[in-house]
């Protein structure tokens, strides 16, 4: 079943019994098929192919086009985004594809994309200089930029660069720095701070509850250990076990109780940190730049990914790269006011943004213990 707005090349339809589905729509679908077939010929760059397609009537911005050619919907599959419990995956949709799976996969290989679950991901070492790796697209040919270093005369230089013929590259420190500056300078619009605060409070509440039940649990275990010890004493004094056995049981109970007590202390300590309250967790949303700076590389990368959930064309002006919902969060004026569908979508993205961010704050606070 299809509940969202149909992607380009498709239109929403309803069967006579009210089932919603998407159906191919020509000439859009035809033009999109041509695009995929052109890519594997490797004659033109992606931006040139985009130009050709729009001149033939395909209504699609360049950045939307870069996403389009990576969307498995066109080979009949649907990408399920990452959720709390599951990694993102690709499943077969109920709709018919505009192109074959094999054509789609060949195109992905050419684009160097890793959207398809069939492609083996190369393991990459986390590097402070490459925070935005995997997020950026080449402004010339549309490939995903990778990152590497080169040895200059006096120092090493780090670049996000294209592996295509266009040789596009941009210094990583420029881009990384402008992202940091954005976080330091721009403030989350006050109207959104409450969403973030609510998530932090929810985490605090959840942890207090978890502590209470953990405390009960440990308490029961401790009771049993004490009973066992008393029981052993009883058995010894009535001559049913000998002294060595009694000592053995007594010692093991003592050690066990010690472990329980220290676990209880640890849990109490964790529950005692009110991330929203005293420790200023709520304040972090107003000082995102500071939080980002003290975060570890992995968290930095995850924060960057929150700002850029979809790949964007690299631009030396970070403002040109920001998706709409981020602009909304930071009270930056949008070029055009969003449609109702876009507004609902943005609201979801904003919620997800704050929920994830709250969890990162929580993780960092726990690390500080």
Q: What residues line the site for Zn ion (CB under 5 A)?
A: 138, 140-141, 162, 164, 166, 168
Residue 168 beta carbon to Zn ion: minimum distance, rounded to whole angstroms: 5
* Least Å from the CB of residue 93 to Zn ion: 30
Q: How far is the CB of 47 from Zn ion (least distance, A)?
A: 9
Using CB atoms within 10 A of its CB, is residue 307 exposed (0-12), middle (13-18) or buried (19+)?
buried
d(CA 50, CA 276): 48
Residue 46: CB minimum distance to Zn ion, A: 8
Among the listed residues 9, 32, 348, 13, the one whose alpha carbon sits nearest the alpha carbon of residue 1: 13
Residue 141 vs 175, nearer CB to Zn ion = 141
Nearer residue to Zn ion within complex by CB, 170 or 284: 170
Cβ proximity to Zn ion, 140 vs 304, nearer residue? 140
Eight-class DSSP state of 81: P
Q: Based on CB atoms, which residue is closest to Zn ion, 165 or 220? A: 165
Q: Is the bond preceding residue 27 a cis peptide, omega within 30 degrees?
A: yes
Quote the CA–CA distance of 88 and 304 in Å, as a whole number: 18
Nearer Cβ to Zn ion (166/306)? 166
Q: 76, 93 in Cβ contact below 8 A?
A: yes
SS3 content of the chain, % helix, strand, coil (to 5): 55, 10, 35
- Pair 95, 21: CB distance under 8 Å: yes
Angle among Cα 80, 83, 85 to the nearest 5 degrees reads: 120
Q: How far is the CB of 140 from Zn ion (least distance, A)?
A: 5
SS3 category, 104:
helix
In this complex, which beta carbon is closest to Zn ion, that of residue 39 or of residue 141? 141
Nearest residue to 175 via CA among 204, 126, 135: 135
Contacts of 254-263 with CB under 8 Å at 24 or more apart are 254/229, 256/221, 256/225, 257/222, 257/225, 257/226, 260/218, 260/221, 260/222, 260/225, 261/222, 263/218
Q: Considering the complex, state which of residue 95 and residue 143 has its C-beta at the smaller distance from Zn ion.
A: 143
Residue 111 or 326: the one with the smaller Cβ distance to Zn ion is 111
Beta carbon of residue 34, minimum distance to Zn ion (angstroms, whole number) = 22
Phi–psi pair at 137, nearest 5 degrees: -110, 150
Instruction: Name the minimum Å distance from CB 70 to Zn ion.
Output: 15
Q: How far is the CB of 134 from Zn ion (least distance, A)?
A: 15
């Amino acid at each position: 079943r299809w509940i969202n707005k149909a992607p380009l090349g498709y239109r929403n339809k309803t069967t006579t019994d009210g089932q919603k589905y998407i159906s191919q729509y020509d000439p859009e679908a035809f033009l999109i098929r041509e695009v995929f077939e052109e890519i594997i010929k490797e004659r033109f760059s992606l931006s040139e192919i985009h130009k050709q397609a729009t001149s033939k009537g395909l209504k699609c911005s360049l950045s939307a086009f870069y996403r389009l050619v990576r969307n498995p919907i066109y080979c009949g599959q649907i990408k399920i985004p990452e959720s709390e419990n599951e990694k993102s995956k690709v499943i077969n949709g109920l709709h018919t594809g505009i192109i074959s799976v094999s054509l789609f996969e060949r195109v992905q290989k050419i684009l160097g994309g890793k959207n398809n679950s069939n492609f083996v991901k190369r393991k990459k070492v986390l590097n402070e200089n490459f925070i935005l790796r995997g997020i950026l697209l080449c402004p010339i040919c549309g490939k995903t930029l990778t990152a590497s270093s080169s040895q200059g005369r006096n120092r090493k230089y780090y670049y996000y660069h294209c592996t295509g013929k266009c040789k596009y590259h941009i210094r990583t420190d420029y881009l990384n720095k402008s992202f940091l500056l954005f976080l330091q300078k721009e403030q989350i619009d006050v109207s959104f701070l409450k969403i973030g605060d609510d998530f932090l409070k929810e985490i605090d509440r959840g942890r207090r509850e978890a502590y209470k039940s953990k405390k009960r649990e440990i308490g029961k275990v401790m009771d049993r250990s004490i009973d066992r010890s008393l029981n052993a004493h009883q058995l010894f004094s009535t001559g049913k076990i000998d002294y060595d056995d009694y000592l053995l049981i007594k010692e093991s109970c003592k050690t066990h109780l010690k472990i329980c007590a220290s676990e209880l202390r640890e849990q109490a300590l964790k529950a005692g940190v009110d991330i929203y309250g005293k420790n200023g967790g709520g304040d972090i949303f107003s000082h995102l730049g500071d939080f980002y700076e003290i975060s570890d590389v992995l968290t930095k990368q995850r924060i960057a990914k929150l700002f850029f959930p979809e790949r964007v064309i690299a631009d030396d002006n970070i403002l040109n790269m920001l998706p709409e919902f981020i602009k909304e969060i930071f009270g930056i004026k949008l070029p055009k006011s969003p449609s109702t569908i876009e507004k609902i979508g943005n609201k979801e993205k904003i919620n997800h943004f704050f929920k994830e961010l709250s969890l990162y704050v929580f993780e960092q606070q726990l690390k500080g213990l």
